[in-house]
């Protein structure tokens, strides 16, 4: 019996853990690629995300490259930003792209109606965004205005940015200083059209989508449907039914899911700093819930698109807390603690494990807004705990998913329980990378793993800090960062991992 079990394990070439917390890593079943775009970001004309966060203009005394902050450019390159969504968000469905091209002094100013009512001078437009993507080596993902735009306007934008043909739009682009088109593959057709993007019902939107999609053309273009808010499967179902499985109309369906500690959009959402274990637990509970939501939408998608041609794109996710005291209304400024590192690690593990159907995800937002990897204040810049998770996890980008089967003890608080550990694994260039989170703030968790062969740990890292409320602040030494993780050992083909309380770890083996 024992022999045949060992034989079975050898055949499957699995790594098995025999403890309360066990992880079976199936090395024979790799094949699904973890699209690098799962590690994507989102930038919106909101608060200080674009202006101050990314773009300060050439004349600024903040060191810059053609107006883009030098410190931020370097940080993004180091973190690796595979795809960047722009210009919104709710802003996108108020945005008329022709306002943001040509000489800056001729560009009209508009009011940013959704975000603080501030004046938008359009000095950061199509050229500034797409040139920025080239500078940091990222794929652009443009969000097209459906709520207050026209099909003609959308069609012309696509032509302006992607076409080599001779046409009024390509001539205009050349006149504005860009000879060749940029490489733009991803186009979102509308944003939250069930809400800020025009308050539409799903049948109306789906028919509009069909209309827009017919005129947005190009060989490599991927068109993304505005999908549901959170668990609204009725939106997903009605849209897919109305699209009637028409081939090539859409390659992606977006979904937005934010983690609010209290779960309330109307009252307090919870604070980003100075919180207790009740809010810590609730935040992680509400994060893990995204897995259920994804499974529900995938079940609907399987019904209408059994071949899986349309992928799920989680193009807005992350924590959403009350704005920091003293900050401007509508700017969505918050801090970022070890709790956010766990939120990022958990979400990314979940997305990795759905790599067969999730092709992209974009954390909201890349600088100074909601769960940002980077915060800026004047000349200063801070790398948040979320930054370090993205940096540590970038080994999974375009690696092959290694399916894992995890058995974990619970982390319980006040009569409620969530899984204490989440995990995902991938393989690239014969290196196995495993990322694990331990949500329990009061307990280190040990996982013992019997390996089928002689792996050696090549790299092990951890993101944590003394308290789960710790964060990195301006003008102070960093408290939360990546350090070497020494609590993992392989001995006699056995891997033993002791994952410290409230931490996220990476273990790489060869």
**So which residues are the catalytic ones?**
192, 316
348 with 425: CB under 8 angstroms?
A: no
Among positions 52, 120, 192, 291, the unique one binding ligand AHR when judged by CB under 6 A = 192
Among positions 191, 259, 368, 372, the unique one binding ligand AHR when judged by CB under 6 A = 191
Among positions 53, 82, 87, 88, the unique one binding ligand AHR when judged by CB under 6 A = 88
Closer Cβ to ligand AHR, 45 or 354, answer by number: 45
Shortest separation between residue 346's beta carbon and ligand AHR, angstroms: 19
333 with 379: CB under 8 angstroms?
A: no
x/- binding map, residues 26-65, to ligand AHR, per CB under 6 A?
A: ------------------x---------------------
Asked if 89 is part of the footprint of ligand AHR (rule: CB under 6 A), the reply reads yes
Closer Cβ to ligand AHR, 96 or 443, answer by number: 96
Asked if 315 is part of the footprint of ligand AHR (rule: CB under 6 A), the reply reads no
CA–CA separation, 237 vs 300, rounded Å?
6
Among positions 316, 340, 427, 470, the unique one binding ligand AHR when judged by CB under 6 A = 316
Calculate the alpha carbon distances from 68 to 42, 54, 123, 290 in Å: 17, 6, 12, 34
Closer Cβ to ligand AHR, 90 or 342, answer by number: 90
Cβ neighbours, 10 Å, residue 488: 22
Which of 101, 122, 87, 249 lies closest to 170 in space, CA to CA?
101
CA–CA separation, 130 vs 157, rounded Å?
13
Shortest separation between residue 215's beta carbon and ligand AHR, angstroms: 24
Closer Cβ to ligand AHR, 232 or 316, answer by number: 316
437 with 421: CB under 8 angstroms?
A: yes
DSSP 84-147: EEES-SGGGGG--GGGGSS-GGGSPPEE-TTTTT-EE---S-HHHHHHHHHHHT-EEEEEE--S
* Total binding residues toward ligand AHR, as defined by CB under 6 A: 10
> Residue with CB nearest ligand AHR?
89
Which span sits near ligand AHR by CB under 6 A: 84-92, 104-112, 203-211, 272-280? 84-92
Shortest separation between residue 331's beta carbon and ligand AHR, angstroms: 11
Which span sits near ligand AHR by CB under 6 A: 73-81, 82-90, 280-288, 420-428? 82-90
The distance in angstroms from the start CA to the end CA of the chain is: 30
x/- binding map, residues 109-128, to ligand AHR, per CB under 6 A?
A: --------------------
225 with 253: CB under 8 angstroms?
A: yes
Asked if 142 is part of the footprint of ligand AHR (rule: CB under 6 A), the reply reads no
Shortest separation between residue 320's beta carbon and ligand AHR, angstroms: 8
Shortest separation between residue 212's beta carbon and ligand AHR, angstroms: 18
State both tokens at 112.
Answer: 């940013």
Asked if 232 is part of the footprint of ligand AHR (rule: CB under 6 A), the reply reads no
Closer Cβ to ligand AHR, 84 or 506, answer by number: 84
Shortest separation between residue 235's beta carbon and ligand AHR, angstroms: 14
Which span sits near ligand AHR by CB under 6 A: 25-33, 49-57, 96-104, 362-370? 362-370
CA–CA separation, 244 vs 196, rounded Å?
26
> Which residues between 368 and 397 bind ligand AHR (CB under 6 A)?
370
Instruction: Dump strand ranges (E) for 260-409.
Output: 311-319, 358-364, 374-377, 380-383, 400-402, 404-407
Among positions 312, 364, 401, 482, the unique one binding ligand AHR when judged by CB under 6 A = 364
Which span sits near ligand AHR by CB under 6 A: 86-94, 216-224, 378-386, 387-395? 86-94
Shortest separation between residue 446's beta carbon and ligand AHR, angstroms: 38
Shortest separation between residue 143's beta carbon and ligand AHR, angstroms: 9
144 with 212: CB under 8 angstroms?
A: yes
Shortest separation between residue 89's beta carbon and ligand AHR, angstroms: 3
Q: Residue 432's beta-bridge partner residues?
A: 427, 509
State both tokens at 253.
Answer: 């369906």
Which span sits near ligand AHR by CB under 6 A: 63-71, 273-281, 363-371, 444-452? 363-371
> Which residues between 151 and 170 bind ligand AHR (CB under 6 A)?
none
CA–CA separation, 172 vs 242, rounded Å?
37
List, edge to edge, every strand of the sheet that includes 488-491: 445-450, 494-499, 488-491
Shortest separation between residue 414's beta carbon and ligand AHR, angstroms: 30
Closer Cβ to ligand AHR, 319 or 435, answer by number: 319
CA–CA separation, 169 vs 373, rounded Å?
36
Which of 462, 494, 500, 495 lies closest to 481 in space, CA to CA?
462
SS3 string, 421-464, reads EEEEEEEECCEEEEEEEECCCCCCEEEEEECCCCCCEEEEEEEE
> Which residues between 90 and 109 bind ligand AHR (CB under 6 A)?
90
State both tokens at 194.
Answer: 């069930």
Cβ neighbours, 10 Å, residue 37: 25
Binding site for ligand AHR (CB under 6 A): 44, 88-90, 191-192, 316, 364-365, 370
């Amino acid at each position: 019996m024992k022999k045949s079990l060992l034989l079975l394990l050898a055949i499957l070439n699995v790594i098995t853990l025999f403890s309360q917390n066990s992880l079976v890593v199936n090395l024979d079943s790799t094949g699904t690629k973890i699209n690098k775009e799962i590690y994507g970001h989102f930038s919106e004309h909101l608060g200080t995300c674009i202006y101050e966060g990314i773009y300060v203009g050439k004349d600024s005394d903040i060191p810059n490259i053609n107006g883009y902050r030098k410190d931020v450019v370097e940080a993004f390159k180091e973190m690796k930003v595979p795809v960047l969504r722009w210009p919104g968000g709710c802003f996108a469905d108020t945005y008329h792209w022709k306002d943001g091209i040509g000489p800056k002094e001729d560009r009209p100013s508009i009011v940013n109606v959704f975000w603080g009512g501030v004046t938008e001078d359009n000095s950061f437009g199509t050229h500034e965004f797409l040139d920025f993507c080239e500078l940091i080596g990222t794929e652009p993902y443009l969000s097209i205005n459906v709520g207050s735009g026209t099909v003609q306007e959308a069609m012309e934008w696509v032509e302006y940015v992607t076409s080599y043909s001779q046409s009024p739009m390509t001539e205009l682009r050349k006149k504005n200083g860009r000879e060749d088109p940029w490489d733009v593959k991803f186009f979102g057709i509308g944003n939250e059209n069930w809400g800020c993007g025009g308050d539409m019902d799903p049948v109306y939107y789906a028919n509009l989508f069909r209309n827009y999609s017919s005129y947005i053309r190009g060989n490599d273009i991927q068109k993304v449907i505005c999908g549901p808010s959170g668990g609204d499967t009725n939106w997903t179902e009605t849209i897919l039914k109305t699209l009637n499985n028409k081939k090539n109309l859409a390659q992606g369906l977006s979904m937005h899911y934010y983690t609010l500690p209290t779960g309330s959009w109307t009252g307090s959402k919870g604070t980003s700093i100075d919180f207790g274990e009740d809010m810590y637990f609730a935040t992680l509970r509400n994060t893990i819930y995204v897995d259920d939501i994804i499974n529900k939408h995938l079940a609907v998608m399987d019904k209408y698109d059994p071949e899986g041609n349309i992928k799920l794109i989680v193009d807005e996710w992350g924590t959403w807390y009350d704005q920091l005291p003293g900050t401007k209304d509508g700017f969505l400024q918050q801090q970022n603690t070890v709790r956010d590192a766990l939120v990022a690690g958990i979400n990314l593990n979940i997305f990795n494990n759905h790599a067969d159907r999730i092709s992209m995800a974009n954390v909201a937002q890349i600088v100074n807004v909601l769960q940002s990897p980077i915060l800026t204040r004047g000349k200063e810049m801070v790398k948040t705990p979320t930054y370090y998770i993205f940096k540590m996890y970038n080994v999974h980008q375009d690696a092959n998913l290694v399916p894992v089967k995890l058995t974990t003890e619970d982390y319980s608080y006040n009569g409620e329980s969530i899984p204490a550990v989440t995990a995902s694994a991938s393989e690239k260039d014969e290196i196995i990378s495993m990322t694990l989170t331990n949500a329990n703030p009061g307990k280190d968790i040990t996982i013992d793993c019997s390996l089928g062969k002689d792996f050696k740990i090549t790299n092990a890292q951890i993101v944590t800090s003394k308290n789960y409320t710790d964060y990195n602040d301006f003008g102070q030494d960093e408290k939360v960062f990546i350090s070497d993780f020494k609590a993992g050992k392989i001995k006699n083909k056995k891997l033993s991992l002791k994952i410290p309380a409230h931490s996220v770890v990476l273990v790489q083996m060869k």
